[in-house]
Amino acid sequence: MDVGEFYDRIEAHPELEGQGLDEGESGGMPAALVLHRPSGAKYRVELDAVERHPWETLEAVLTGQREARVLSHMTRVVGYFSKVENWNRSKVAELRGRQAGDYSVAGSTSTDRRA
Q: Is 106 left (phi over 0), alpha (psi -120 to 50) or beta?
A: beta
- Give CA–CA dist 4/45, Å, rounded: 14
Q: What is the pLDDT of residues 8-47, one digit of tens each?
A: 999 999 999 999 988 866 567 888 999 999 999 998 898 8
How many structural domains comprise the chain? 2
**In the 8-state DSSP scheme, what is residue 53?**
S
Whether residue 32 is found in the same domain as residue 78: no
47 domain residue, yes or no: yes
Whether residue 75 is found in the same domain as residue 64: no
Whether residue 53 is found in the same domain as residue 95: no
Whether residue 15 is found in the same domain as residue 46: yes
Whether residue 85 is found in the same domain as residue 43: no
Q: Residue 89 sits in which domain range?
A: 71-102
* Residue 89 CB neighbour total at 10 angstroms: 13
CB-based contacts of 109, cutoff 8 Å, min separation 6: none
Does the pLDDT at position 104 exceed 80? no
66 domain residue, yes or no: yes
The structure's pTM equals 0.59
